[in-house]
């Protein structure tokens, strides 16, 4: 089974080929701009590194948010276009669950407890979700949410032992000293890299979970708001 995985939801761009559950090739680039121009060529390049063709792909996996509105749209548009052209089913994962998996692998099988994954959502908010880790396995214990920064402590609660994600440092500054002192802030890959996305997609398929319709996960209205039409007096004449 061959899976092409891609991501452009946050401040990176990546693509990977997963063959029989293992990463065959992966390209990862940190970048704030240029996702649209780079993502599809990156998919071609990673296939070349894996010595396969795009037409060989059985599935396409992609992050569906939360993230930047432009980044999420770029990734989903590219993934859906490839899936349609190749006749390959599309598999979607959230950026939060992918980073939670990165945390589980970094913390190791010995870690048991709850963690919070948080991304900087701008506009004085954070995208947050809580997960339980046990023996390297990850399970969500809350729904993803856009949380105002002054309320992140209430959302995280008293049982969370670790905080990770692109917004971890920002969120930490809004926690009380008592809460922050009992938590750890491990250094992990806080971006939803395509290699992890593809491996998680392969595991879902191996467990019998079939692909469903993939829609973007937007936790709030877009930053850009359409201007209200202006009606001039002469138009009413």
- Give this prediction's pTM: 0.91
Give the CATH number, domain containing residue 198.
Answer: 3.30.420.40
CB atoms within 10 A of CB 113: 14
Domain span at 136: 97-181
Q: What is the pLDDT of residues 22-70, one digit of tens each?
A: 999 999 999 888 899 999 999 999 999 999 999 999 999 999 999 999 9
Q: Identify the pLDDT of residue 73.
A: 95
Shared domain check, 83 and 126: no
Shared domain check, 199 and 143: no
CB 176 within 8 A of CB 153: yes
Q: Identify the pLDDT of residue 138.
A: 95
Average pLDDT, the chain: 92
The residue assigned the tokens 């048991």 is: 112
pLDDT classification of 229: cutoffs 50, 70, 90 = low
Shared domain check, 155 and 90: no
The mean pLDDT of 183-202, rounded to a whole number, is 96
Tell me if 128 is assigned to some domain.
yes
Shared domain check, 200 and 89: yes
More reliable by pLDDT, 236 or 197: 197
80: buried, middle or exposed (CB in 10 Å: 19+, 13-18, 0-12)?
middle
Three-class DSSP category at 126: strand
Q: Identify the pLDDT of residue 16.
A: 98
Q: Identify the pLDDT of residue 223.
A: 53
From edge to edge, which strands make up the β-sheet containing 59-63?
22-30, 12-19, 2-7, 59-63, 90-93
Q: Is the backbone peptide bond immediately before 66 cis, with ω within 30 degrees of 0?
A: yes
Q: How far apart are CA 46 and CA 51, in angstroms?
A: 9
Q: What is the pLDDT of residues 100-119, one digit of tens each?
A: 999 999 999 999 999 999 99
Q: How far apart are CA 130 and CA 106, in angstroms?
A: 17
Q: Identify the pLDDT of residue 210.
A: 85
Give the CATH number, domain containing residue 105.
Answer: 3.30.420.200
């Amino acid at each position: 089974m061959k899976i092409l995985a891609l991501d452009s939801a946050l401040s990176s761009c990546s693509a990977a080929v997963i063959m029989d559950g293992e990463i065959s090739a992966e390209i990862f680039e940190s970048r704030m701009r240029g996702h649209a121009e780079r993502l599809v060529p990156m998919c071609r390049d990673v296939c070349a590194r894996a010595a396969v063709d795009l037409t060989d792909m059985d599935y396409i996996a992609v992050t569906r948010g939360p993230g930047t509105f432009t980044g999420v749209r770029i990734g989903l548009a590219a993934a859906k276009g490839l899936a349609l052209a190749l006749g390959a089913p599309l598999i979607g994962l959230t950026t939060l669950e992918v980073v939670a998996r990165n945390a589980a692998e970094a913390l190791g099988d010995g870690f048991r407890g709850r963690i919070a994954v948080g991304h900087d959502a701008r506009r004085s908010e954070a995208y947050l979700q809580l997960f339980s880790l046990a023996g390297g396995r990850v399970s969500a214990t809350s729904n993803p949410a856009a949380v105002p920064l002054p309320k992140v402590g209430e959302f995280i609660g008293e049982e969370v032992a670790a905080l990770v994600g692109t917004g971890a440092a920002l969120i930490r500054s809004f926690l009380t000293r008592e809460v922050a002192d009992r938590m750890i802030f491990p250094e992990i890959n806080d971006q939803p890299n395509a290699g992890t996305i593809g491996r998680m997609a392969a595991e879902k398929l191996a467990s019998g979970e079939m692909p469903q319709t993939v829609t973007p996960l937007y936790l709030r209205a877009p930053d850009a708001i359409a201007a209200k039409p202006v009606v001039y007096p002469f138009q009413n004449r």
